[in-house]
Chain A
Amino acid sequence: MIKQIVLAAGIAAVAIGVAACGERPQVVEYKQGKYQGKPDQTPYEAAPFAGNKTEWERAIKTRNQSQNEYKRT
């Protein structure tokens, strides 16, 4: 009877002792040097350009050149 109690207590002690081993890691593992966030859209992906990169580049170029007062009228 005593042997059974000791055995049960031993099993319980071991079970409690290794209980923490089953926990999942709570710290996020980051990969050094690689962006970990959400992916971003390209500026011409959505409206009003709807994927037309050429049109977007033309719009940006026009805006760019409008900063040059030597070429503005």
Chain B
Amino acid sequence: MARMKFLCDAERCIECNGCVTACKQEHDIPWGVNRRRVVTVNDGVPGERSISVACMHCSDAPCMAVCPVDCFYRTEEGVVLHDKDLCIGCGYCFYACPFGAPQFPQAGAFGVRGKMDKCTFCAGGPEANNSEAEFKKYGRNRLAEGKLPACAEMCSTKALLGGDGDVLSDIYRERVTNRAARGTAGTPPFGWDAAYGRPDAQKAPAAPAGGAKS
């Protein structure tokens, strides 16, 4: 088993926030904590692009490097998890993370900062698999049920892919190849039409120069 990774196809993401909702629902995430969120570049401008962002489960994770209490660990599947019993909520991991993945619940008075919470790749944490303690601290352990992260599995446009990095690469490669093959004169090989247009419609030859009889 290779490393578990996320991959978001910016050509397909429609900023529906379904992944965000699925994550919050799956793990019963409190208000103010967003393990996943959708970032849009050039919002409102034609050609805008959206991408779903969460913990990327880095191979060389900076959060692990800066944690003063060493509460992070990496599973054999390459998922970066942490022990909430050890976390002191210092926020170093938040400053170190290039994706802003670590989240801190602020339910208490005076802006008190709780223990760090982040995407677990639906793999729970250091508690017995699918136990109540695991769900309360880390959310549901879908990986132990033989399932992939809820955000990726429910993505309606399959913009967000999650799972074995090698398989994701193959899926994305095939997708991009198909897009490029569909690209005809006047149609960009990438973009909305290529991503969502019907293959037969895209492959149809252009109308003859004389014009067809209507």
Binding site for B on A (CB under 8 A): 28, 30-49, 55-57, 59-61, 63-65, 67-70
Contacts and interface: CB of A to CB of B under 8 A. Distances in A.
A67 B73 contact: no
A30 B68 contact: yes
Interface in B97-132: 123-130
Contacts of A31: 70
In the A-B complex, the 7 residue pairs with the closest CB atoms: A37-B83, A59-B146, A35-B73, A64-B163, A46-B129, A38-B126, A40-B126
B161 to A, nearest CB: 5
B126 A63 contact: no
A35 B125 CA distance: 13
B100 to A, nearest CB: 23
A70 to B, nearest CB: 6
A65 B71 contact: no
Interface string B164-179: 1001101100110010
B70 A32 contact: yes
B152 interface: yes
Given A43-B77, A43-B123, A61-B167, A38 B174 contact: no
B72 interface: yes
A57 to B, nearest CB: 6
Of the candidates B1, B125, B153, the one having the most CB atoms from chain A within 10 angstroms of its own CB is B1
A64 B123 contact: no
Contact of B153 (A42, A63, A69): A63
A45 B178 CA distance: 39
B144 A44 contact: yes
Given A60-B146, A63-B148, A70-B175, A40 B164 contact: no
Nearest to B72: A35
A48 B147 CA distance: 12
B141 A35 contact: no
B87 to A, nearest CB: 9
A56 B127 CA distance: 19
26 contacts: A30-B69, A35-B71, A35-B73, A36-B71, A36-B83, A36-B86, A37-B73, A37-B85, A40-B81, A41-B129, A41-B144, A43-B75, A43-B129, A45-B129, A45-B144, A47-B130, A48-B145, A49-B146, A56-B146, A60-B1, A61-B167, A63-B148, A67-B152, A67-B163, A68-B170, A69-B158
